Amino acid sequence: MALFPETIAIVRGLKQRDPLFQSLFILAADVLSRALNKLNGNNQFIGFSMGQEINKDKSFFLTQNFIDKRTNRRIKRWTGFNQAKFPFTYLGCPIYTGRKKVCHFSDLATKVLNKAGAWQGKLLSFGGRAIIIKHVLQSQTLYSLAAMVPPKTIIRQIEMYLSNYFWGLKEGKKRYHWSSWDNMSFPWEEGDLGFKKLQDICYSFVAKRWWTKFINAKYYPRSNPPSKVINSNDSSTWRNLLETREKIETNIHRKINKGNRLFWWDKWTLFGPIKQQANLSYKPGNNKTMEYFQNQIWNRDLLQQIVHPRVIQEVSQVHIGKQNINDQAIWTLNAQGTFTCSSVYHLLRKKRDHTPWLAKIWDKDLSFKISFNTWRILKNRLSLGYQKRRPGIMSLRQVNLLKGSGEQLDHHWDYNQAQIPS
């Protein structure tokens, strides 16, 4: 009788999430691991490669302008790569040297123009075009805006393309824009269409870079960011960071645990950095907070030698956490204490007074057409009469012309008599 049958009859298979599935996976992984380790010790085993090679047609090398031609030819001969020059585009972002120029970012505006042009011929209402702008055209630029800050000329050019697409074309020409892009770039609660300004989105991503940890290691490993000043030779990236520093640092609170934050410069009290409260006549050093407490208790004797008694009272109210945990940065605009681009966007953008009744015209139960026409009426952006006029103004001559033509005026709104529902 054979010990093992020639064929094995399969009774049933294993279903997903079967309790036996995890056990069999562990056994199979263990057998494979043991086999590979045993194979590694076999001297007769010869490894193999997958055969992947660098595509020389898609690769190139870059050198500085002062590198002589002989060296460039030698690099080309050794590597087989072609030589390229700045600027070039990598993953949709321009890579360049020197100052930031409009020509480096022209492709970004061109992509938005081509995308808007592809949708321009579609028979879409204002509501459909608003959705395309919010979820397609503006989203198309988010990746590039997260990595760089284009010149303001490019930002205005893209917003002009978006505005032209929203108001549409008539016989190949731009329609009259009854409201500018800036006036439409406010939330519904503040009386506008809810579009977002690209410049505010840019600075939101800049603030996110200020929040990230790698900035500390790159730009100020041995100093403190709030005390940095703008120099003439600073890069545009660093200048953008410093421009948003004041508003961002105001909303960052440090929780003391281990004590590795800066005692004088960081905001770890309820009243701001100690440097601002102490009114010192000299520039303090980069002392750590751990130097001023022992066993998680503030050293009041040491504090009395350097700060005013009023400041000591404020410092003593700060709770010191666990010693084995690094100090934590808390974003005060979020209940969870974590940084979000949405919260910093509303912090940096220009605001209007919050009007509750304006939010009612954008109720989700109403169609966009009704809400949009109501918005145009309330903003005096509805075309009345046969002649072009300034928004919100209808002359007596136009009224007489309408009456003389026999046209019914019931569908026209009287701006002076319009009542806003409470």
Reported as a single tens digit per residue, the pLDDT across 220-235 is: 665 666 667 777 777 8
SS (H, E, C) 317-348: CCCCCCCCCCCEEEECCCCCCCCCHHHHHHHH
- CB-count burial class (<10 Å; 0-12, 13-18, 19+) for 401: middle
pLDDT band at 76 (very low <50, low <70, confident <90, very high): very high
> For 92-102, what is each residue's pLDDT tens digit?
888 888 888 89
Look up the pTM and report it.
0.67
Q: Give the model's pLDDT for residue 351.
A: 85
Q: Give the model's pLDDT for residue 366.
A: 85
Q: Give the model's pLDDT for residue 60.
A: 92
What average pLDDT does range 52-71 have in this prediction? 88
Q: Give the model's pLDDT for residue 71.
A: 94
CA 100 to chain centre: 20
What average pLDDT does range 280-307 have in this prediction? 82
Helix (H, G, I), strand (E, B) or coil at 34: helix
Tokens 């562990």 sit on residue: 26
Judged against a pLDDT cut of 80, whether residue 350 lies above it is answered with yes
What average pLDDT does range 190-209 have in this prediction? 87
H-helix segments, 351-420: 356-360, 368-378, 396-404
pLDDT band at 172 (very low <50, low <70, confident <90, very high): confident
Judged against a pLDDT cut of 70, whether residue 415 lies above it is answered with no
> For 314-348, what is each residue's pLDDT tens digit?
888 888 888 888 888 888 888 888 888 888 888 88
Q: Which residues pair with 90 in a beta bridge?
A: 93
Judged against a pLDDT cut of 60, whether residue 400 lies above it is answered with no
pLDDT band at 153 (very low <50, low <70, confident <90, very high): very high
pLDDT band at 412 (very low <50, low <70, confident <90, very high): very low
What average pLDDT does range 38-62 have in this prediction? 80
H-helix segments, 41-189: 69-79, 106-120, 126-132, 138-140, 142-147, 152-167, 181-184
Q: Chain-wide mean pLDDT for the chain? A: 79
Report percent pLDDT > 70 for the chain. 82
Give the integer Cα–Cα distance in Å for 107 and 109: 5
Which one is predicted more confidently, 54 or 10?
54
Give the integer Cα–Cα distance in Å for 132 and 166: 9
Q: Cβ(62)–Cβ(84) under 8 Å?
A: yes
Structure tokens at 5: 């049958």
Give, as one character, the DSSP assignment of residue 298: E
Which one is predicted more confidently, 377 or 158?
158
pLDDT band at 360 (very low <50, low <70, confident <90, very high): confident
Q: Give the model's pLDDT for residue 11.
A: 67
